[in-house]
Amino acid sequence: MRLRISERLKDSQNTAAMLTTFQEVDMHNLIQMRNKHKDEFFAKHGVKLGFMSPFIKASAAALEEIPAVNAVIEDKDIVYRNYVDISVAVASPRGLVVPVIRNASKLGFAETEQTLGDLAGKARDNSLALEDMAGGTFTISNGGVFGSMMGTPILNLPQSAILGMHATKMRPMVVDGEIKARPVMYLALTYDHRLIDGREAVTFLCSIRDKIEDPSRMLLDL
C-alpha cells in the first residue's frame, strides 16, 4: 500500500498545476455550539459531535456554490458533477486511506458523524472495501489531530481540490476593535490551477470560513 500511495502522490505532482491558498478561521462560535449541545447530541444520536461534521457540511455547501471546485478534467473535457462525495483522509495501520462520504450535501450533522465513525472503524480494522474509497469529488485532510499548524496538502487525483485542516490554537485576534485571545485554525486549500482560478479558490475557502465562524449560516443555507 505504501508503494501505491507514493505512486499516486507523485502522479499528482507531475500532472496537476497545484497551488495552495490559506485562510484563518475563528473557531470560537463553533466550539461554543459544540460545548452547549454535545451531551444532548450524543444522548439522541449515539455518536459524539466532533468538528469534522461541520467542516464536511460547510465544504459540501461551498462545493455547490462554486461548481468548478467540484469538477474534474477528463481528457480534454471539464466534467461538472451534480453530486458531492467527500473523501476524508484517515490514518490506518496500513497507511493513509481516503474513504468517501456519499451525497455529503444531503446529510445532517448526525448522519455525517455516524458515517464517518463507521468508515473510520473499517479503516482501523483493515476492512475497507474498494467501493468505500472510490469516486470522491473532494478531499478533506485533518493534520490538526497530529498537531500540525499549517501544511500544503497534495491533490487526490482526479479530484481538483483538497482542504487541509490544522490544529486549533489560542492566538491574538482583533474582535470588535479589541485584541482578544481566540481559538484559531489555519485552513489550506490546494487546487488544480488548470481548472480552478484563484478567484474561485479564495471565494470557496472564504465560504467555508464564514460558515464555520457562524454555524447558523449552515442552518439558514447561507
The residues annotated with a catalytic role in the active site are: 193, 197
Q: Are 187 and 165 in contact (CB under 8 A)?
A: yes
* Planar angle of CA 112, 114, 115, nearest 5 degrees: 65
Q: How far apart are CA 131 and CA 125, in angstroms?
A: 16
Q: Which residues pair with 101 in a beta bridge?
A: 86
Q: How far apart are CA 86 and CA 71, in angstroms?
A: 13
Q: How far apart are CA 84 and CA 78, in angstroms?
A: 16
* Planar angle of CA 70, 30, 116, nearest 5 degrees: 55
Q: How far apart are CA 185 and CA 194, in angstroms?
A: 28
Q: How far apart are CA 152 and CA 189, in angstroms?
A: 8
Q: Are 86 and 140 in contact (CB under 8 A)?
A: yes
